[in-house]
Structure 1
Amino acid sequence: MTQPPAPQPAGVAGEPPLSQPFYGASFGQAFSRFWKKYATFTGRASRSEFWWWYLANVIVVGVLYALTAILGFSGATIDATTGTTVPGPLFVVGSSLLGLWGLAVLIPSLALAWRRLHDTNRSGGFWFLGLIPFVGWIILLVFYVSDSNPQGARFDV
């Protein structure tokens, strides 16, 4: 009589479960995990998960900005009185898409940043340092690029 195989942890073969950070995640894996952990503020996020997502976000925002500019300039007119350019009617479409994307990624981006801070063994509340004018974002950038700290496992569920 043989024993059934031991159950595998949740996740795709070779990937850690969603409750664990994925060190060495690829671009696609990081993008997928970002959406799967939409509003999860507990646990940790590896540097690769964090930075691959931000690269993906920069690409999407860049494309949406370009689309907005293209749509805005097609059909644009110049106001004869003031000399200012009035964007075309499709500018609203591009702006709406950009706004919807921003709303869609607001909470999960905050959650990802929170988890990244956990991976460096810092409370997610350190995110509020980013609100300090001029230096806050620099402090956060240093935290985000820091090595993972094994003691950050205390934030795992």
Structure 2
Amino acid sequence: MHWYVDVLKKYAVFSGRARRQEYWMFFLFNLIIAIVLAILGRAMGTSILSGLYSLAVLLPGLGVAVRRLHDTDRSGWWILIGLIPLVGAIILIVFLASEGKREPNQYGPNPKLAPAV
């Protein structure tokens, strides 16, 4: 759960690097919360809960995705490749799932080697 909270603390931070674990744990918790809110909204006959939640986590989700791309030594603008139907989403998933560069790059030091704060 701390991976999810850490991403929320960096609400609109688009600089630096993010580990695979940070991105995918945020994705997992985000998915679980969205499903629970969708079920609750369906039971209540409204979709306002999931809509508000999606709006609230839009910037943190984009931020962690951009930082994840930075870890693979790609510009954050590569996130736009996901707009290409089908093929773009597959390429973006491959980028997000690939291992980050071990050495420091233009976006910062390796987050795996960074001391825990």
Structure 1 and Structure 2 fold alike (TM over 0.5) = yes
Question: Percent identity among equivalent residues?
Answer: 46
Deviations 1:86-121 (A, max 9, x none): xxxxx2xxx111111011011110111000000011
SS in 2 for 1:44: coil
Unaligned runs of at least 5 residues, structure 1? 1-27, 73-90
Displacement of 1:29: 2.1
1:101 aligns with 2:53: yes
Using CA pairs below 8 Å that are at least 6 residues apart, which structure has the higher relative contact order? 2
Asked which structure has the greater CA Rg, the reply is: 1
More helix by share: 2
TM-score (norm 1): 0.66
Residues in 2 aligned to 1:143 and 1:151: alpha-carbon distance in whole angstroms: 17
TM-score normalised by L of structure 2: 0.87
Check the 8 A contact 1:121/1:150 in 2, yes or no: no
Which of 90, 104, 119 is equivalent to 2:71? 119
Q: How many residues align?
A: 109
Change (3 A) 1:150 1:110: same
Query: Contact (CA 8 Å) 1:129, 1:137: kept in 2 or not?
Result: yes
Is the partner of 1:154 in helix, strand or coil? coil
Structure 2 unmatched runs, 5+: 110-117
Q: Give the aligned residue type for 2:79.
A: W
| CA distance in structure 1 between the partners assigned to 2:15 and 2:44 by the alignment | 40
Instruction: Find the residue that maps to 1:45 and give its secondary structure.
Output: coil
